[in-house]
Amino acid sequence: MNDSVLEQLDRVLAARKTAADPEASYVASLHAKGLNKILEKVGEEATETILAAKDASDETSRAELIGETADLWFHSLVMLSHLNLSYREVLQELERRFDLSGHDEKASRQ
Ligand SMILES: N=c1c2ncn([C@@H]3O[C@H](COP(=O)(O)OP(=O)(O)OP(=O)(O)O)[C@@H](O)[C@H]3O)c2ncn1[C@@H]1O[C@H](COP(=O)(O)O)[C@@H](O)[C@H]1O
């Protein structure tokens, strides 16, 4: 597999935005319902992630936290796609902050 999962998902999300039946595709149904519905889902998944994290004591609940975080990331990607943005801009921003922080140098000095 050459492409990352994010890259592959990005392509699927782009295709669902323009050429998919909302009856057959969950992502197309979110786009058809509009930004407010997508933001509602992001909020719901963020709350579910927080609740799962507060209860992440054993293997089962930690697996639930991973699942909720995946739902949150997924719905955040749909939100970005709806607004003609993608994970790439977010990664660029994280890279920029990482470069600015001089992270490696600081850590090795401690
Ligand atoms: N990664 C996901 C993914 N993660 C979560 N979900 C869906 O997100 C929803 C999560 O919402 P909830 O847990 O609140 O469940 P719900 O009560 O059914 O949701 P609502 O009725 O409130 O909308 C579920 O319907 C999940 O199926 C996803 N749906 C799709 N994908 C990816 O998106 C691709 C395109 O999907 P389609 O557009 O459906 O073809 C797929 O190939 C997958 O790779």
Distances (CA, A) of 108 to 98, 102, 104: 15, 10, 6
Token pair for 86: 């993608």
Mutate to test the pocket of ligand 1, among 36, 64, 74, 82 (most ligand atoms within 8 A of CB): 74
Query: Domain ranges in the chain?
Result: 5-85
Interface ipTM: 0.89
What does the chain come to in residues?
110
Q: Is 73 in the pocket of ligand 1 (CB under 6 A)?
A: no
Residue 110 has pLDDT above 60, yes or no: no
Comparing 86 with 2, which gets the higher pLDDT?
A: 86
pTM recorded for the entire structure: 0.89
Output the pLDDT for position 19.
Answer: 78
- CA–CA separation, 3 and 11 (whole Å): 11
Fold classification of 5-85 is: Helix Hairpins (1.10.287)
98 vs 40, residue with greater confidence: 40
Segment 5-21, tens digit of pLDDT: 999 999 999 999 987 78
